Amino acid sequence: MLAETNYQPSWASSFPKLTIAESTRLGGVSLPPFSSLNLGLFTDDKTAFVKQNRERFCRELNWDTSRLAGSFQVHSDQVLRVNTPGEWEGYDALVTNRPDILLSITIADCTPVLIYDPISQSVGAAHAGWKGTAGQIAAKTMMLMRDAYGTRPENCWVYIGTCIAERDFEVDADVADHFSEEDKRWHPQRKKFLVDLKKANRDQFLHLGVAPSQIELSPFSTVEDNDRYFSHRAERGSTGRMLAVIGLKP
């Protein structure tokens, strides 16, 4: 579902107790270069603006910001099981089976990955930049859900969200060497490799046994749709951040 402030996968409406969405850059109060719905706590934007934006975004999803759970992300493959709202550091993925906790991932080119298991009523959220993707953080998030909550991959629904598209993600061999031949290609004119982060994360779930029909990929690109999404690369680092969130209502 497309709204000014957020986008939700098409399968979300099948699960009325589930909240799953990613924000856009539209509908907030921040000034350039953070215009306008900057939700990033660790940017140079005014804290009051970010707080107001977060309140606006959560209110439209019928949540309170006090229920958010997030982490200062470091491009790792570390996953944390959380039982309360709050802020942590050093983790790039979170899982929970507690209702009334809204897991959040901060993004501005990296891939947000959101997982829902309707059988165990558990959720996961992963921040998969190229390092996290290469480190299999999406698969590790599902595996922690398996170990903690008995999650079975075939029961899960997955949303792989808006990130930098393959055609825009130019890298050299030092990055490309971390990816399989299926998830990268050489561009002879640009003399660069192009890496498909959405596909690389999707492949992890297919390998685990998630049905292709239960994995949805965002149709958007942070670079090509920069009028709607923040892009760290397109805006040379001077930009805001989106949130991707998932949680269950009590």
Question: Does residue 2 register a pLDDT over 60?
Answer: no
pLDDT for the residue 1: 57
Give the strand order in the sheet containing 102-107.
Answer: 6-7, 18-23, 242-248, 102-107, 68-72, 86-89
pLDDT for the residue 211: 98
The whole-number average pLDDT for the span 93-101 is: 98
Give the angle 220-92-53 at the CA atoms, nearest 5°: 60
Question: Does residue 199 register a pLDDT over 70?
Answer: yes
pLDDT for the residue 4: 86
β-pair partners for 116: 123, 157
pLDDT category at 65 given cuts 50, 70, 90 is very high
CA distances from 15 to 1, 20, 45, 119, 247 (A): 14, 10, 35, 12, 11
DSSP 3-state of 34:
coil
pTM of the entire structure? Answer: 0.97
The whole-number average pLDDT for the span 230-240 is: 96
* 242-248 vs 18-23, strand pairing mode: antiparallel
β-pair partners for 187: 192
pLDDT category at 32 given cuts 50, 70, 90 is very high
Distance (Å, whole) CA 119 – CA 125: 17
Question: Does residue 238 register a pLDDT over 80?
Answer: yes
The CATH architecture one would assign to domain 6-248 is: 4-Layer Sandwich (3.60)
Amino acid at 220: F
pLDDT one-digit tens code per residue, 153-165: 999 999 999 999 9
pLDDT one-digit tens code per residue, 166-198: 999 999 999 999 999 999 999 999 999 999 999
Mean pLDDT of the chain: 97
DSSP 3-state of 180:
coil
User: Domains of the chain: which residue ranges?
Assistant: 6-248
